Amino acid sequence: MAKDKDKDTQRKDPNQKAIPTSRVGRFARVARMASGVAGGMLAEGTRQLRAGKRPRARDMLLTPANARRVADQLATMRGAAMKVGQILSMDTGDFLPRELADILARLRSDARYMPTQQLRKVMSDAYGADWEQLFYGFEIKPLAAASIGQVHKAVAPDGREMVLKVQYPGVASSIDSDVDNIATLLRMSGLLPAELDIQPLLNDAKQQLKDEADYHKEADFLQAFGDLLRDDERFLVPELLPDLSRRTVLAMTYVSGKPIESIVALPQAERDRVMTALVELMFLELFELRMVQTDPNFANYLYRSSTGQIVLLDFGATRHFKAGFVNNYRKLLGAAMSHDHARLVAAAERIGYAMGDEDSQYRALVLELFLLALEPLRHEGVYDFAHSDMARRMSELAEEVADYRDFWRAPPTDAMYFHRKLGGMFLLASRVKARVDVNQLIKRFIS
């Protein structure tokens, strides 16, 4: 009877999509996406010609219909195909066309999940045919779904509420081919300039994704953050349940809370306190731990109104940073805060940024972009994110930098991953209309 009910749910729920698990099946998805985009370009070009306009390739490619085609196919594939889109879409616009970033940004809010039959197969492979006897009240419909896996609620044998993060089948084995296929599609589309070498970024993305698909590593990160913050009453981290975890299923205690964005309805002082804690934690992760949870997705944070605690979720995207990068980044921030442009350029070049020739207009623009991106850190006193137009000014300046294609280079991977987190925190601060003395927080780590 329960299985019949599962089938009824599957038929009625459009968010259930079977995940292609074979390399051939996943490549077919990319080919179908490319074919659909090409057909959409042809139709749009014909429409513009009939209207008496001379169609441009970018206008034909970046239509709403093509945006849906790309986002929908990547969302159905999940795994590395979806994750590489999320990674690229979090860039601040230094080298990605804004239109492409907007297309890929759709992936960050996608909530499709496995059909019940596919889920049962994954659970049987992990725990055996009698897996349902291990858990009480296992909920077939997930609490959340993301690029690598989906989360289900259950009750542990000891009676505690728990969640199981279940990895999508075929995700780990398809990482290399997925990343290569998506990169090829982006190049063929003309959205990425031919002269832009993103191979180092792609190679690093593959390794990062393999780490995210290794639930044993995520378990270690979950345990490490839990130990680190055990005595910090501002934060709450789920407890790892190692005996119930497997290679493709991560088990932990269930911690409830409201979406972090909900604090926008709270008094100003509470919003400021929460965002100050999160920004301070970000700096602590980079400068003291050299271990940063780099995924700034708002869904990774919850707020417990009863205690005022911030719940931290999902440590799969945690990344270790080398001491050399951290030291050079500390010098970059120090130079930016003291308005020492020569030291800032030197630190940026040591990190791996292309800064252009001395006294060139390109260098002046990149310097201006750096200083603008770090404005909250450089501002003395409380920075009011709610009334800041920093994002708009950065977008306008990035368009000017984009005109200098001869200087384009994919950003250093460590810097890009940290800037994802930095940009995400600033975006959240703007969303909840917080005021944070970022300058005071950062002085502790660079003085």
Residue 411 contacts by C-beta under 8 Å, 6 or more apart in sequence? 91, 94, 95, 201, 352, 353, 419
> 384 — phi, psi (to 5°)?
-90, 95
Pair of tokens at residue 134: 């291990």
**DSSP letter at 193?**
-
User: What does the alpha-carbon distance between residue 377 and residue 394 come to, in Å, rounded to a whole number?
Assistant: 15
Q: How many CB atoms lie within 10 A of CB 230?
A: 11
Q: Across the beta sheet with 258-259, what order do the strands follow?
A: 235-236, 309-312, 301-304, 258-259
In the block, which residue shows the tokens 């299923």? 249
The torsion defined by the Cα of 174, 415, 191 and 400, in degrees rounded to 10, comes to: 170
Cβ(402)–Cβ(358) below 8 Å: no
In 44-157, the DSSP E strands lie at 144-145, 149-155
Under 8 Å between Cβ of 417 and 351: no
Q: What is the rounded CA–CA span in Å between residue 436 and residue 429?
A: 8
| Sheet containing 249-253: order of strands | 144-145, 149-155, 161-167, 249-253
In the annotation, is 125 catalytic? no
- Token look-up 């977008």 returns 395
Q: Tell the residue number behind the tokens 């301070």, with chain if given.
A: 280
Burial class (CB in 10 A: 0-12, 13-18, 19+), 303: buried
Identify the CA nearest to 433 among candidates 275, 282, 311. Answer: 275
* Single-letter code of the amino acid located at 180: D
Number of other CB atoms surrounding residue 286 within 10 Å: 22
Give the separation between CA 335 and CA 346, rounded to whole angstroms: 10
Q: Give phi and psi for 98, each to the nearest 5.
A: -60, -35
Say how far apart CA 155 and CA 115 lie, in whole Å. Answer: 22
Give the contacts of 370 (CB within 8 A, at least 6 positions apart). Answer: 332, 336, 344, 348
- Check 295, 357, 359, 403 and give the catalytic one: 295
Cα Rg of the chain, angstroms:
23
d(CA 172, CA 191): 27
Query: 259 forms bridges with which residues in the sheet?
Result: 302
Residues acting as catalytic residues? 295
